[in-house]
Structures are given as C-alpha cells and as structure tokens.
C-alpha cells in the first residue's frame, strides 16, 4: 500500500545534500529543474519528460555546447504484455487519488496533469 509519508526527496536527499526541492516551485511545463546547495548540484527530470526535454536538460546541466543524446532503450513499447497492461489495467480509485494528492505529486505535477493521470489509471 502506498505510504504518503514516505518521501525520498525529504527523507534521503535533503539530509545528505541540503537540497530542498520543495523550496521552489517545479516548472511543470519544462518537466525538469536543477538545484544546487554548497558542493551539491542535481538535475530532476520527470521520467515522462525525458524524451521531450532530456537531451536539452542534460546538455544545459553539464554545460555542453548542445543537447546530450539519450538512448531510447528498454521502454516496453512493442511488448504485448506491456501494451496489454497499459491498455487494460486499472488501479483502485482510492489508491490513485491518494497517490496523486501526495506532497510529491502535488509539487511535481499541476492540477490538470494529476487529473489526467487519475483518469488514465482509473477509467
């Protein structure tokens, strides 16, 4: 069962690095942000945005002259079991709603995105 109190960013990252990803709003339209504190610097890219903005985000993060190519592997696309799962599987609505109302979800996704994801996995 999903535990809303578990939060890797708060419980693991913050104590070690001092990086509080919740201290600034996340640019949901961009799908990524970088954070720095002292000697630590991290890049957060939402998984579903890697194809869309990952190369650009990594290029900027590493101060490259352009995008950093990302290989597209192990996506599951074309696998009949994976495709069937995506097409047919639905989760209990209370679990999905609890998940998308967690502090982590509300920070990294706007209301419209969370509503769309809720519909995707419950309807």
Segment 45-85, tens digit of pLDDT = 999 999 999 999 999 999 999 999 998 877 777 889 988 98
Distance between CA atoms of 86 and 48, rounded to whole angstroms?
14
Prediction pTM value: 0.83
The full length of the chain comes to 123
Report the pLDDT value the prediction gives residue 2, as an integer from 0 to 100.
54
For the stretch 85-96, pLDDT in tens is 888 989 999 999
Average pLDDT over residues 15-26: 95
In this structure, what are the phi and psi dihedrals at residue 40, rounded to the nearest 5 degrees? -105, 140
Q: Which two three-digit tokens encode residue 37?
A: 């504190």
Report the pLDDT value the prediction gives residue 15, as an integer from 0 to 100.
95
The answer to whether the beta carbons of residues 42 and 19 sit under 8 Å apart is: yes
Tell me: pLDDT of 108 over 60: yes
Helix (H, G, I), strand (E, B) or coil at 33: strand
């Amino acid at each position: 069962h999903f535990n809303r109190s578990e939060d890797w960013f708060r419980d693991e990252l913050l104590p070690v690095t001092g990086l509080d990803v919740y201290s600034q709003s996340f640019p949901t339209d961009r799908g990524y942000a970088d954070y720095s504190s002292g000697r630590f610097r991290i890049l957060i890219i939402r998984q579903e945005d890697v194809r869309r903005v990952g190369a650009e985000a990594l290029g900027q993060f590493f101060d490259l002259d352009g995008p950093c190519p990302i290989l597209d592997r192990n996506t599951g696309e074309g696998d009949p079991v994976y495709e069937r799962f995506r097409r047919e599987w639905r989760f209990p609505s209370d679990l999905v709603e609890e998940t998308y109302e967690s502090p982590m979800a509300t920070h990294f996704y706007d209301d419209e995105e969370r509503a769309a994801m809720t519909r995707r996995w419950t309807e």
